[in-house]
Amino acid sequence: MHYPSENTQQANLYRMRVIDSHTGGEPTRVVVAGGPDLGSGSMLARKQRFETQYDRWRTAIACEPRGNDVVVGALLTPPENEGSLCGVIFFNNVGYLGMCGHGTVGVAVSLAYLSALGERCWMHGSDHLPSHFVLDTPVGSVPVDTHPDGSATIQNVPSYRFRRSVEVQLNNSQSVHGDVAWGGNWFFLCEDHGLAIDVANISQLHDFSKRVRHALLAHSITGEQGAQIDHIELFGAPSDPRKFDSRNFVLCPGEAYDRSPCGTGTSAKLACLAADGKLAPGSIWRQESVVGSKFEASYALAADGKILPRITGTAYLTADSQLLIDSNDPFAHGIRE
């Protein structure tokens, strides 16, 4: 990997500044300085450049020994669209995400932190972060509002249900049903799994979700235009119906499950509720995660029949640090899976 050499006094060490946070338990690592320069063009083209030319930066940041299965990285870029604050590309230990809801809340809280430190932000050229701004992602632009209590509301990309109640045959001849929906990533949303959505049941939920994902692949069940469905979302009763409407378990691409209620998964859920006439525009949906964290969500109808989800969550900072990449380290670019 080619790191600029003027980055540090020690020729073998490259520095990258990252701000870590978690949103409802799910970590986000925002690269604020020292990341790769992906050049210009659409965010989709920049994501493709990241994948084809700079993928070792992803693995250096998100894979062990610096990262882990759960961490979602966020690389900030100059904006694609005039008026947007900046661009962001989300990634994890196995690849790239279209959008990431918990990650966007993490980015908002990290930018607010930098602004509170009085650090002039290279993205918007001022040391004051506006309370409303727009982030460009490879799948669309996402308006963000930060609130005085530290929470943030994102308006996710237009979301929709693609297929309803698709039957999937698992490898043990059990069959389950689920909706296929887009919320910035592709989801299979399943209710008839017969499992308790409970943190004490993680290994069963994990194992089951992996079998569903495998079966979707084996039976060529996809999102629109053959897109791979890489997120599996299981729903069940909330821990306390006075506080939540539903509880979910989300298997992310790779081996990790989402500790947060998953912003893109909650958007996909809203799209299905809207399509079934079970939630009116503007009504609040309180999505609980398997570890008990919460997103509040609602939607507006878009002109083309899709929905515009709004998701509110809270992120907490966990580190402001420098990653060091030692060119002598055999695992400098992470342990690749």
Q: Which residues are identified as catalytic?
A: 100, 262
Compute how many other C-beta atoms are within 10 angstroms of the C-beta atom of residue 322. Answer: 14
Residue whose tokens read 């069959």: 175
Q: Which stretch binds ligand PYC (CB under 6 A): 192-200, 216-224, 257-265, 328-336?
A: 257-265
Region from 41-49, 95-103, 111-119, 218-226 binding ligand PYC, contact rule CB under 6 A: 95-103
CB of 152 to ligand PYC, least distance (A): 12
Residue 187 tokens read as 């989801």
Alpha helices in the chain (DSSP H): 43-53, 55-62, 101-116, 202-218, 263-275
Indicate which single residue of 30, 38, 61, 72 sits in contact with ligand PYC (rule: CB under 6 A): 72
To ligand PYC, the closest distance from the beta carbon of 118 in angstroms equals 30
Nearer to ligand PYC, 114 or 256 (CB): 256
- Examine residue 100 and tell whether it contacts ligand PYC (CB under 6 A): yes
For position 260 contacting ligand PYC by CB under 6 A, the verdict is: yes
Query: Does residue 26 touch ligand PYC according to CB under 6 A?
Result: yes
Q: 122 with 35: CB under 8 angstroms?
A: no
The mark string for 216-255 relative to ligand PYC (x by CB under 6 A, - otherwise) is: ------------------------------------x---
Regarding beta strands 285-289 and 160-169, do their DSSP bridges make them parallel or antiparallel, or are they unpaired? unpaired
Give the whole-angstrom CA distance, residue 309 versus residue 297.
7
State which of residues 66, 102, 247, 269 lies at the interface with ligand PYC (CB under 6 A). Answer: 102
- State which residue, 258 or 288, has the beta carbon closest to ligand PYC: 258
* Cβ 317 to ligand PYC shortest distance, Å: 17
Which position among 264, 289, 293, 298 is part of the footprint of ligand PYC (CB under 6 A)?
264
32: enclosing H helix or E strand: strand 26-33
User: How many residues bind to ligand PYC according to rule CB under 6 A?
Assistant: 12
Tokens read off for 324: 């060091």
For ligand PYC, give the closer residue by CB, 97 or 181: 97
Q: How far is the CB of 95 from ligand PYC (least distance, A)?
A: 11
Task: State which residue, 70 or 332, has the beta carbon closest to ligand PYC.
Answer: 70
Give the span between the Cα atoms of 197 and 282, in whole angstroms: 27
Smallest distance, ligand PYC to C-beta of residue 255, A: 13
Write the Ramachandran bin of 239: left for phi over 0, alpha for psi from -120 to 50, otherwise beta.
Answer: alpha
89 interacts with ligand PYC by CB under 6 A: no
Axis-axis angle for helices 55-62, 43-53 (nearest 10) = 80
Give the pairing of strands 26-33 and 72-77: parallel
Q: Nearer to ligand PYC by C-beta: 62 or 262? A: 262
Nearer to ligand PYC, 258 or 296 (CB): 258
Cα separation values, 333 from 3, 67, 272, Å: 12, 11, 40
| Residue of 27, 101, 106, 223 interacting with ligand PYC (CB under 6 A) | 101
Q: Do the beta carbons of residue 329 and residue 12 sit within 8 Å?
A: no
DSSP string, 281-303: TT--EEEEETTS-EEEEEEEE-T
Positions touching ligand PYC (CB under 6 A) are 26, 72, 97, 100-102, 252, 258, 260, 262-264
